[in-house]
Amino acid sequence: MSIFISKEAKDKAQGYWFGLLIPLLAGWGVSTFSMAALMSRDGPVSEMTYVDYFFMTGWISGGLVVHPLCAWWVLLRAKIVGNAPCIKGAYMSIKLYILWIFFLLSMTIISFVWGE
């Protein structure tokens, strides 16, 4: 038994969640994988190699670069196909990204002003 009223409602919900979650999961996935690889190393920070720097770059860029690029790609793909629910989901993903950046910047500014 399906929880959806009709096939059209099911297709709209799937398109929306695809447009919203694919960029989020891609960004978080890159960040989580890179953080796990960094945490598995035993050496001191002074002995970091280029591979460690690569994983640090992946950790930072997962949320700052991969997420918006993936959302942009899903948005372009949905516009070509004409999938309106997927377009709405991709726009929501971009809005969440902007909210995340605003949060990071505001916490950085507050921390700087309070001298911590």
Interval 3-31 mean pLDDT: 87
Interval 38-43 mean pLDDT: 84
pLDDT confidence of residue 47:
81
Domain range for residue 85? 8-114
Interval 42-59 mean pLDDT: 85
Look at residue 2 and tell me if it is in a domain. Answer: no
Look at residue 55 and tell me if it is in a domain. Answer: yes
Number of folded domains in the chain?
1
Could you identify the residue written with the tokens 């949320």? Answer: 63
Interval 6-14 mean pLDDT: 82
Contact between residue 38 and residue 56 where contact means Cβ atoms under 8 Å apart: yes
Asked whether residue 116 carries a pLDDT value surpassing 90, the answer given is no
Contact between residue 48 and residue 67 where contact means Cβ atoms under 8 Å apart: no
Look at residue 95 and tell me if it is in a domain. Answer: yes
Q: What distance in Å separates the CA atoms of residue 116 and residue 110, rounded to the nearest whole number?
A: 9
Contact between residue 41 and residue 59 where contact means Cβ atoms under 8 Å apart: no
| pTM, rounded to two decimals | 0.82
| Neighbouring C-beta atoms of residue 31, cutoff 10 Å | 19
Look at residue 1 and tell me if it is in a domain. Answer: no
Helix axes 7-39, 84-114, angle to 10 degrees: 40
Look at residue 53 and tell me if it is in a domain. Answer: yes
